[in-house]
Structure 1
Amino acid sequence: MADLREFKAAPPVGIDPIGASTESAALLYNVIREDIVSGRLEANERLVVGDLAKRHETSTTPVREVLQLLRGEGFVVFTRNRGARVRPIDQDFVRDIYEIGVLIEPVLTHWFVGMATEADIAELELVQRQIEDNNFADQIKHSDLDTQFHTLMYQRHYNRHAAELWWKHREVLRSVGRRFNFTLARRAQVIREHRELIAHIKAGEADEAAKLVARHVEGSGRHILEQMRSASAARAG
């Protein structure tokens, strides 16, 4: 199982990945989201504001705020007369998230190819070398570097809402995906697609780069789904 250390990758400049009103609420958000992703808070479990406030030694105000933030990301659902509960982190949830990425990331990539400088490409190549030097030995480091790689392309896009949506959905997939190891086939595919993407950017081939990123994102999502299915089958067996 992957290491559960905190990821260090920073979001694009100007983007608040959480949107909490205070630092304490942001910290509480991270704790409760981790409890959901890790399974400590089980699927469909009721989230009682008073109980959560007592457990985390805080008032009910930040708990209510955090539940609304998690609702916005799909981790929590609200039902009339029943309050909040944990949304199952199931295959449908992962599919919905990565399919949105398949729509967003090609557009962001297409724009980047049209404005990329030699310095931008040099940064991408540097991060890619670090990814290959690490060679998935430290999966947390790989995840951090992989996020840096894509952030370099999207961080200056004029549509900040799209960039923020990309970041939040990517973080959801990272939270879910870190429970699983990369297969050897997926490792080779990631390296190969990154190299091909840099080549398209150098050549100014925006359409080809966008198509490649769509396949790349879909491949990542499908890999997580396959791992989830395998884990489910193992538990059932």
Structure 2
Amino acid sequence: MADTREFKAEPPEGIDPLGASSEGASLYELIREDIIEGRLAANERLVVTDLARRHGTSTNPVREALQLLRGEGFVTFLPNRGARVRPIDQDFVRDIYEIGVLIEPALTRWFVSMATDEDIAELERLQGLIEENNFADTFRHSELDTAFHTVMYQRHYNRHAAELWWKHREVLRAVSRRFNFTLARRAAIIREHRELIAHVKAGNADEAAELIARHVEGSGRHVLEHMRARNAARAG
């Protein structure tokens, strides 16, 4: 049986999303996962020496990892109080996806004006794999979906915008892993991807930009709805 997780989405060429040492990047991923999964609680103090001991490393990579997490909003630094875990709440998710709603339409509009036959063929290939997987493996879906959108943004001349898109998408993607796709959201993703490809083929830049804004907002709202439902269940 083929490994359904063999596909790995990569950031746009020339973009180093972390800019960190390999050890710092590895610790960043481990600590971020602990925050998202709640193993490090909201507002918990992050002591560099404790984290170094826990992960069997020196303090420098831990400091590096915490600065990366600070840049993504997972960690806050307060004067004389050190680093603490930022609550992964609805405000956090809203702030992340709203940035995507603002910048992705501009990136998409540019892509439509520059898209080649090869770009369209790659979008169709990835969409075929997404539909073939049909959300059976959510990890694989996430990788394929990210690759689909990367096709559109990977050559954009504004590398700062492309890097900002990648970083915020990775944050939202990490948070959304805790929740399953509803049937309605699954149908919307497939439908909107197909419509987007059709707009790219037709050269409809404005229509594609409007669609991508709805698409990104729909993803963000889907996560928020899951968070509200979870909080209501806990309160009840």
Normalization by structure 1: what TM-score?
0.96
Which residue number in structure 1 is paired with residue 42 of structure 2? 43
Q: 1:7 to 1:54 in 2, by over 3 A?
A: farther
The residue type equivalent to 2:16 in the other structure is D
Q: How far has the Cα of 1:9 moved from its partner?
A: 1.4
SS of match in other structure, 1:157: coil
CA distance in 1, matches of 2:58, 2:139: 33
Which residue number in structure 1 is paired with residue 209 of structure 2? 210
CA distance in 2, matches of 1:207, 1:78: 41
Q: How many residues align?
A: 232
The alignment status of 1:13 with 2:6, answered yes or no, reads no
The residue type equivalent to 2:194 in the other structure is R
The residue type equivalent to 1:125 in the other structure is E
Moved more, 107-116 or 52-61: 52-61
Contact 1:7 1:140 in 2 (8 A): no
Q: Sequence identity, in percent? A: 78
Which residue number in structure 2 is paired with residue 197 of structure 1? 196
Which residue number in structure 2 is paired with residue 236 of structure 1? 235
Which residue number in structure 2 is paired with residue 115 of structure 1? 114
CA distance in 1, matches of 2:109, 2:229: 35
Q: How far has the Cα of 1:6 moved from its partner?
A: 10
**Cα offsets for 1:102-143 (capped at 9, x unmatched):** 011101100000000111101101111111111111111111
- Superposed CA RMSD: 1.2
CA distance in 1, matches of 2:90, 2:7: 23
Point out where structure 2 has 5 or more consecutive residues left out of the alignment: none
CA distance in 1, matches of 2:7, 2:180: 16
Q: How far has the Cα of 1:64 moved from its partner?
A: 1.1
Which residue number in structure 2 is paired with residue 81 of structure 1? 80
CA distance in 1, matches of 2:188, 2:61: 42
The residue type equivalent to 1:67 in the other structure is L
Normalization by structure 2: what TM-score?
0.96
Point out where structure 1 has 5 or more consecutive residues left out of the alignment: none
Q: How far has the Cα of 1:19 moved from its partner?
A: 1.5
Q: 1:32 to 1:6 in 2, by over 3 A?
A: farther
Contact 2:7 2:144 in 1 (8 A): no
SS of match in other structure, 2:181: coil
CA distance in 1, matches of 2:166, 2:178: 19
